[in-house]
Amino acid sequence: MFSDLSCRYLVPFHPKRAPHHFADLLIIGGGLAGLRAAIAAPPNLSVLVVTKDNLLQSNSNYAQGGIASVFDPEDRFENHIADTLTAGGALCDEQVVEMVVRDAPARVQELIDWGTDFDKQAGELALGREGGHSHFRIVHALGDATGKEIMRAVIERTRQSPNVLTWQDTFTLDLLTHEGACRGALVWNPNHGKTIVWAKQTILCTGGAGQLWRETTNPQVATGDGAALAWRAGAELRDMEFMQFHPTVLYIAGGSRSLITEALRGEGAHLIDRHGHRFMPDYDPRAELAPRDVVSRSIVAQMEKTRHPNVYLDLSHLEAAFVRRRFPGIAAVCAEFGLDITRDPIPVRPGAHYMIGGVTVDLEGRTTVPGLWAAGEVTSSGLHGANRLASNSLLEGLVYGAHAGEGAARAAAEIADDFRALPLANDRVEERSEPLDLADIRDSLRSLMWRSCGIRRHRDGLTDAAEAIQRWQSYVLPRQFPDAGGWQLQNMLTVARIVVAAALRREESRGVHQREDFPQTDDENWRRHISFTRAADDGG
């Protein structure tokens, strides 16, 4: 265990000096998992959903490729289960995998019932194929903008629920705990400042942590807040060493790090190096359709071999009209930089993409803290093991969002209304100190994580990273900041330290966690989870 420098609460608060809001269910996060949980609540329960930016800023909204589900008559649940287990590097929970895979068609059907317009072929759902999948089973929409279309329909469906209130631009600072149970959260809202939300049950759906790394596909909101909130509240975090890097992120200086979906490779795109050589068959017989971690590592090796900062995706051998129709979003982004994807190779390199580790949850979405549930990317449910199979995460959000929403609603319905504040406060006031250049620390942290805790890891780099992060923590974590810039940095430092501690502890290579000093998988010692819990502390 490392020395934990986090304070229980980020900012001072007192019930006599803050507005109060009472809800049956508080849902933190308005991506797919959060909104699916909100929809699961019956109309007689009051639900408050808070999102730190507007509703469209979530990983869900940016999802491209689609949702994995068995629809093809040639396919079987057993195939999808086997593919998920194979990708997961012997660390998946088989019961969870089976449950999620079998639930998938019904969850996709719900989305269709709520108005999601998935792409069709001859009147049937068009099914794509991605790396690691043995069959065509990826349901997609708007070509390569699946998340946008799903979220449009789910936001619309949520708006039809009069019991669901949404506060956008509302930053959740901390979960409130009393006598070991979660009782709601302290949030900051531009209209009424620090506000105490008392909730009978709370569901954490805050998504991922890609922003901890310099290169990432994730939007700005993905700073790992949920893991940090849960950590300070005493919940168990598990498998934090497993960050999945997406192999193909657009790499154009000054451009956004747009993800170039795996579906391109599924449709036949080739990965070539600066000399035009198609290199994936040199590394793996599955070539471009090998699992993501294999493709990411191969790209890094080829970049080193050719001394070039990126490789390229080549679609020039595919029919141009098909490419434009199937990938209109990517075609438009590349066109802004003068690239015609039907002709020009697309420059790509890997980037941090999906946080596999997170808050430990059971099959229903319960965390280890009573009254606190969680769903989606913020969790470690056991579905992904050591490596996520492509397009299984939107599915996880749907399944666990529904479970957590239903479970939390049942638990809340058994608790009588009691509109009283609890004696919870944080009276700690920091001494005045020199201003800090937060952007500088944030950039340094992201570069460090990319360099030392990225696709390839080694004890020396990880040890240096742990020391540097702990040093930054020592003067950033005790501070009390007035706004989200500081709070996010504190959360990022808290989560990064745990990721590095877990990466140091796992002395083997498994799934997305690759140690140069321990290149083998060691089932005897390491076929197990690594978890961390902060000492229980209600604060105040």
Binding of ligand FAD at residue 108 (CB under 6 A)?
A: no
**Residue number with CB closer to ligand FAD (36 or 270):** 36
Looking at residues 428 to 467 of the shown chain, list those that interact with ligand FAD (rule: CB under 6 A).
none
Q: Which of 292, 442, 457, 515 is catalytic?
A: 292
DSSP-based three-state secondary structure for 97: helix
Question: Per CB under 6 A, which region of 30-38, 106-114, 493-501, 531-539 contacts ligand FAD?
Answer: 30-38
Binding of ligand FAD at residue 24 (CB under 6 A)?
A: no
Question: Are the C-beta atoms of residues 348 and 310 closer than 8 Å to each other?
Answer: yes
Binding of ligand FAD at residue 236 (CB under 6 A)?
A: no
Question: Are the C-beta atoms of residues 140 and 65 closer than 8 Å to each other?
Answer: yes
Binding of ligand FAD at residue 514 (CB under 6 A)?
A: no
Residue 374 CB partners (closer than 8 Å, separation 6+): 203, 204, 205, 226, 230, 358, 359, 361, 365, 367, 400, 404
Binding of ligand FAD at residue 64 (CB under 6 A)?
A: yes
Residue 271 beta carbon to ligand FAD: minimum distance, rounded to whole angstroms: 19
Residue 253 beta carbon to ligand FAD: minimum distance, rounded to whole angstroms: 20
- Single out the residue of 9, 23, 24, 34 in contact with ligand FAD (rule: CB under 6 A): 34
Q: What single DSSP character describes residue 253?
A: T
How many angstroms separate the first and last alpha carbons of the chain?
25
Residue 327 beta carbon to ligand FAD: minimum distance, rounded to whole angstroms: 13
Question: Per CB under 6 A, which region of 109-117, 286-294, 391-399, 474-482 contacts ligand FAD?
Answer: 391-399
Distance CA 185, CA 464 (A): 35
Distance CA 76, CA 148 (A): 28
**Residue number with CB closer to ligand FAD (371 or 376):** 376
DSSP-based three-state secondary structure for 126: coil
Count of residues of this chain found to bind ligand FAD when the rule CB under 6 A is applied? 43
Residue 401 beta carbon to ligand FAD: minimum distance, rounded to whole angstroms: 7
Q: Is the dihedral of CA 264, 265, 271, 276 positive or negative?
A: negative
86-89 own/partner pairs: CB under 8 Å, 24+ apart: 86/132, 87/132, 87/291, 87/384, 87/385, 87/387, 87/388, 87/389, 87/511, 88/383, 88/384, 88/385, 88/386, 88/387, 88/388, 88/389, 88/511, 89/385, 89/386, 89/387, 89/510, 89/511, 89/521
φ, ψ of residue 487 to 5 degrees: the values are -60, -40
Residue 522 beta carbon to ligand FAD: minimum distance, rounded to whole angstroms: 29
- Single out the residue of 365, 397, 405, 407 in contact with ligand FAD (rule: CB under 6 A): 397
- Single out the residue of 9, 29, 85, 137 in contact with ligand FAD (rule: CB under 6 A): 29
φ, ψ of residue 260 to 5 degrees: the values are -100, 105
**Residue number with CB closer to ligand FAD (60 or 494):** 60
- Give buried/exposed letters for 83-110 (b at 16+ CB in 10 A, else e): bbbbbbbebbbeebbbbbbebbeebbeb
Looking at residues 143 to 202 of the shown chain, list those that interact with ligand FAD (rule: CB under 6 A).
146-147, 171-172
**Residue number with CB closer to ligand FAD (206 or 470):** 206
- Single out the residue of 45, 48, 52, 409 in contact with ligand FAD (rule: CB under 6 A): 52
Question: Per CB under 6 A, which region of 218-226, 305-313, 363-371, 407-415 contacts ligand FAD?
Answer: 218-226
Residue 227 beta carbon to ligand FAD: minimum distance, rounded to whole angstroms: 10
**Residue number with CB closer to ligand FAD (57 or 387):** 57
**Residue number with CB closer to ligand FAD (34 or 132):** 34
User: Per DSSP, which regions of 12-163 are E strands?
Assistant: 20-28, 47-50, 67-68, 120-121, 124-125, 127-128, 138-139
**Residue number with CB closer to ligand FAD (283 or 337):** 337
Residue 67 beta carbon to ligand FAD: minimum distance, rounded to whole angstroms: 6
**Residue number with CB closer to ligand FAD (166 or 298):** 166
Residue 68 beta carbon to ligand FAD: minimum distance, rounded to whole angstroms: 7
Query: Nearest to residue 357, comparing CAs of 230, 171, 534?
Result: 230
Residues in the chain: 540
Residue 376 beta carbon to ligand FAD: minimum distance, rounded to whole angstroms: 2
Binding of ligand FAD at residue 218 (CB under 6 A)?
A: yes
Say if residue 210 is exposed, middle or buried (CB neighbours under 10 Å; 0-12, 13-18, 19+).
Answer: buried
Q: What is the 3-state secondary structure (H, E, C) of 169-202?
A: CCEEEEEEEECCEEEEEEEEECCCEEEEEEEEEE
Distance CA 100, CA 110 (A): 15
For strands 138-139 and 67-68, give the pairing.
Answer: antiparallel
For strands 138-139 and 127-128, give the pairing.
Answer: antiparallel
**Residue number with CB closer to ligand FAD (223 or 470):** 223
Residue 518 beta carbon to ligand FAD: minimum distance, rounded to whole angstroms: 28
Looking at residues 254 to 293 of the shown chain, list those that interact with ligand FAD (rule: CB under 6 A).
259
- Single out the residue of 11, 47, 108, 221 in contact with ligand FAD (rule: CB under 6 A): 221
Binding of ligand FAD at residue 206 (CB under 6 A)?
A: yes
Residue listed under structure tokens 């009283």: 420
Active site residue 232: no
Binding of ligand FAD at residue 327 (CB under 6 A)?
A: no
**Residue number with CB closer to ligand FAD (55 or 411):** 55
Distance CA 382, CA 506 (A): 17
Query: Which sequence positions are flagged as catalytic?
Result: 292
What does the binding site for ligand FAD look like in residue numbers (CB under 6 A)? 28-34, 50-53, 57-60, 62-67, 146-147, 171-172, 205-208, 217-218, 221, 225, 259, 354, 376-378, 391-394, 397
